[in-house]
């Protein structure tokens, strides 16, 4: 079976080559799939993409014309794919619902503690040989209530960690899970907004929750809330969040994702080249921690992603199906 990987495979060629089976012929391309690069598909029936590749109806039709039969994304979320349009072309679509939930949960705990203890300011002070206490007094997690929006696999792992540290853990999800009730209390969004000192987004992006953290919802948050978004950039109106930071409604922000990040991730900018004033203002602030979509990025996560992609290619080759169809 011939397959081609856009963007993802080139970075992890060593892992693919180590784990792939003899029957798989996999080609690696170092760029995203779009209308300008679709012609790079040759005779491959399986195409692998990341969230940076936006698949609309036009591209779905182009994939069909190229003879593609399977489209796989290396992510759990799939809002970057018009799944209906792809399936209408007779193409199977698959994701990776769980490559390492603990990787993102551990990231949340790490950056949460860093924010509460003002580590960005402390590290900057030390680099500048300013060994002062001014401006670095922190807060203790045991005195705070945390709210997790999204109670799936990752949300569950985060709630398990937070239960050991925080005063109270709330979770909001339209589909309650029995095991979640052992580590968190289900609550409505408004209750979380009102009572939680920390709010963590662990939900996928859809039309119903686009910019769920916006000017109006920020007004309803508890004063001094810490916001953490390792999920999808579109969940937050970052302009409104910036204003919330400036007026003190929000005490800190951790974000690993940003709306329009495909124009940023994987690139290096010289002074003055990056033209997004909101993003630049955010990352310069000492009450903000930004990472470039690396919350998932561990040895285990990459290994499991590669294994899942290869498993789907073999399954399709032998049985005409994939493990996690959408």
Among 76-85, 192-201, 276-285, name the one with the lowest average pLDDT.
76-85
Superfamily (CATH H level) for 101-290: NAD(P)-binding Rossmann-like Domain (3.40.50.720)
Among 9-18, 40-49, 116-125, name the one with the lowest average pLDDT.
9-18
Residues β-bridged to residue 146: 169, 198
Q: What is the pLDDT of residues 46-56, one digit of tens each?
A: 999 998 899 99
Which is more confident, 21 or 44? 44
Distance in angstroms (rounded) separating the CA atoms of residues 107 and 150: 16
Distance in angstroms (rounded) separating the CA atoms of residues 244 and 326: 37
Does 21 score more than 80 pLDDT?
no
Mean pLDDT of 224-247: 97
Q: Kindly state the tokens that stand for 13.
A: 């060629």
Q: How confident is the model at residue 10 (pLDDT cuts 50, 70, 90)?
A: low
Q: How many CA atoms lie within 13 A of 48 on its CB side?
A: 31
Closest Cα partner for 47 from 86, 11, 4, 1?
Answer: 4
- Which helix (H) or strand (E) segment holds residue 253: the answer is strand 250-255
Q: Is residue 98 classed exposed, middle or buried when 0-12, 13-18 and 19+ CB atoms within 10 A define those classes?
A: middle
Residue-level pLDDT at 153: 92
Residue-level pLDDT at 180: 97
Task: Please say if 293 is a catalytic residue.
Answer: yes
The H helix count followed by the E strand count for the chain is 12, 12
Q: How confident is the model at residue 118 (pLDDT cuts 50, 70, 90)?
A: very high
> One of 44, 157, 259, 261 is an active-site residue; which one?
261
Q: How confident is the model at residue 254 (pLDDT cuts 50, 70, 90)?
A: very high
Task: Please say if 130 is a catalytic residue.
Answer: no
Residue-level pLDDT at 9: 65
Task: Please say if 232 is a catalytic residue.
Answer: yes
Does 20 score more than 80 pLDDT?
no
Q: Kindly state the tokens that stand for 177.
A: 């899970």
Q: Is residue 210 classed exposed, middle or buried when 0-12, 13-18 and 19+ CB atoms within 10 A define those classes?
A: middle
Helix %, strand %, coil % for the chain, to 5?
A: 40, 15, 45
Mean pLDDT of 68-81: 93
Residues of the chain with CATH 3.40.50.720: 2-99+299-319, 101-290
Q: Kindly state the tokens that stand for 164.
A: 């050991």
Q: How confident is the model at residue 301 (pLDDT cuts 50, 70, 90)?
A: very high
Mean pLDDT of 273-295: 96
Which is more confident, 97 or 217? 217
- Which helix (H) or strand (E) segment holds residue 88: the answer is helix 83-88
Would you identify the CATH topology of the domain 2-99+299-319?
A: Rossmann fold (3.40.50)
Distance in angstroms (rounded) separating the CA atoms of residues 40 and 5: 11
> One of 80, 232, 259, 262 is an active-site residue; which one?
232
Q: What is the pLDDT of residues 166-185, one digit of tens each?
A: 999 999 999 999 999 999 99
Does 218 score more than 90 pLDDT?
yes
B/e letters for 182-197, b = 16+ CB within 10 Å, e = fewer, are ebbeebeeeebbeebb
> One of 293, 319, 321, 323 is an active-site residue; which one?
293
């Amino acid at each position: 079976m011939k397959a081609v990987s856009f963007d993802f495979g080139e970075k992890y060629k060593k892992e693919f080559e180590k784990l792939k089976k003899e029957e798989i012929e996999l080609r690696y391309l170092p760029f995203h799939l779009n209308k300008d690069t679709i012609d790079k598909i040759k005779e491959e029936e399986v195409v692998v993409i990341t969230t940076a590749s936006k698949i609309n109806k036009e591209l779905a039709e182009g994939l069909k014309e190229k003879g593609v039969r399977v489209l796989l994304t290396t992510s759990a979320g799939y809002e970057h794919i018009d799944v209906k349009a792809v399936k209408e072309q007779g193409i199977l679509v698959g994701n990776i619902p769980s490559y390492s939930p603990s990787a993102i949960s551990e990231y949340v705990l790490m950056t949460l503690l860093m924010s509460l203890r003002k580590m960005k300011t402390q590290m900057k002070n030390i680099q500048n040989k300013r060994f002062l206490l001014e401006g670095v007094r922190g807060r203790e997690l045991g005195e705070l209530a945390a709210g997790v929006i999204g109670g799936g696999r990752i949300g569950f792992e985060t709630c398990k960690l937070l239960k050991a540290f925080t005063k109270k853990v709330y979770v909001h999800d339209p589909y309650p899970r029995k095991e979640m009730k052992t580590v968190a209390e289900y609550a409505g969004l408004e209750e979380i907004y009102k009572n939680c000192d920390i709010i963590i987004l662990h939900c996928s992006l859809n039309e119903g929750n686009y910019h769920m953290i916006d000017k109006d919802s920020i007004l309803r948050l508890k004063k001094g809330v810490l916001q953490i978004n390792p999920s999808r950039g579109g969940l937050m109106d970052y302009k409104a969040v910036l204003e919330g930071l400036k007026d003190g409604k929000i005490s800190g922000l951790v974000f690993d994702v940003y709306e329009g990040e495909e124009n940023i991730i994987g690139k290096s900018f010289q002074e003055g080249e990056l033209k997004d004033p909101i993003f630049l203002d955010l990352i310069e602030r000492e009450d903000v921690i930004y990472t470039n979509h690396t919350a998932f990025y561990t040895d285990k996560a990459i290994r499991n992603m590669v294994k899942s992609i290869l498993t789907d290619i073999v399954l399709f080759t032998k049985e005409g199906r994939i493990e996690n169809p959408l």
